[in-house]
Amino acid sequence: MSEQPTTEKVEKKKVILSAIQPSGTITLGNYLGALRNWVKLQDDYNCIFAIADLHAITVRQDPQKFRQNILNAYALLLACGIDPEKSPVFIQSHVHTHAELAWLLNCYTQFGELSRMTQFKDKSQKYANNVNAGLFTYPILMAADILLYQADMVPVGADQKQHLELARNIADRFNSIYGKTFKSPEPYISRSGARVMSLQDPAKKMSKSDENVNSWVAVLDKPETVMKKFKRAVTDSDAVVKIGEGKDGINNLIGILSAVTGKTAEEIEFEFEGKGYGDFKTAVGEAVVEELKPIQNRFNDFINHKDYLEEQYKKGAEFALRISQRTLDKAMKKIGFIAK
């Protein structure tokens, strides 16, 4: 096995940092929209990946289930194609610098900035019985995650742009007071990421938080479950497999089939000319099953070799700590703390 990337190597290429929460479920939308592109980024950038478990506790977690979700998320990242020999993959809570820098950055973030975060407003309504301080300040922890590694770019979706802008504002503010300390990261927006919509309400994005389980497909769903969900997918009364206005359901299914097969929308339309929606939905389901099968096989292999997972997340954490400690020490020195 090769060595973990050295500090020197990380500084030669542009650095991209990506993190995912251990929610217990990664959807087809997460995979086609983000994770599959993360795999491709490893060839052109120095990528650092994290399981953002500290972020997950703004919502109450069952301890035993939470531990398993963290391990599952780690194994699933590897199963999707993240190579820990190319790109360090670590568990956020194993690297103490994240929480430490987050506290420092709390003191350089304005209350008004946090109060404008739309996700805080949304989650406050969803979890009205537990509107805790962490729910309010977690964008600062996200900023610490990014700034610790002097990330040049961060892959973001539309719902994360506001958080990245806050990280940039914090970095710029700190730098204006103390001199150059943090890189101000740019968004990395992939042109190839598929935007996968709900199978039951194709006007909105596929999300595991949707109460209707038939609206989303999990990467680890069994083949029969995947097929059932696609056969129940909402379409329209037109019965023509063709991209068009007012055909959100069919547009979504064509997009999914295109993403997993590499066929263009025009090729798909030609292939299913004269065929009904039943045949088409079955074909989409079968293509997704084939796409997910090797991921599921690799996941099962990884999750049954916990010693390998432990070896990798420990190596990842050691690497992450070396990089991030340097940034934290620099920031603390600039503020005026006495070095250890």
Residues tagged active-site: 123, 205, 208
Q: Map residue 276 onto helix, strand or coil.
A: coil
Token pair recorded at residue 294: 């090797």
* 27: phi then psi, degrees, rounded to nearest 5: -90, 170
| Separation CA 18–CA 52 (nearest Å) | 9
Inter-residue contact 298 to 78 (CB < 8 Å) = yes
- Residue 241 β-bridge partners: none
Token pair recorded at residue 336: 């005026």
| Separation CA 194–CA 29 (nearest Å) | 8
Find how far residue 324's CA is from the centre of its chain: 20
Please name the amino acid found at residue 206: M
Closest CA to 86 of 58, 144, 44: 44
Q: How many other C-beta atoms can be found within 10 angstroms of the C-beta atom of residue 241? A: 27
Closest CA to 324 of 118, 15, 55: 15
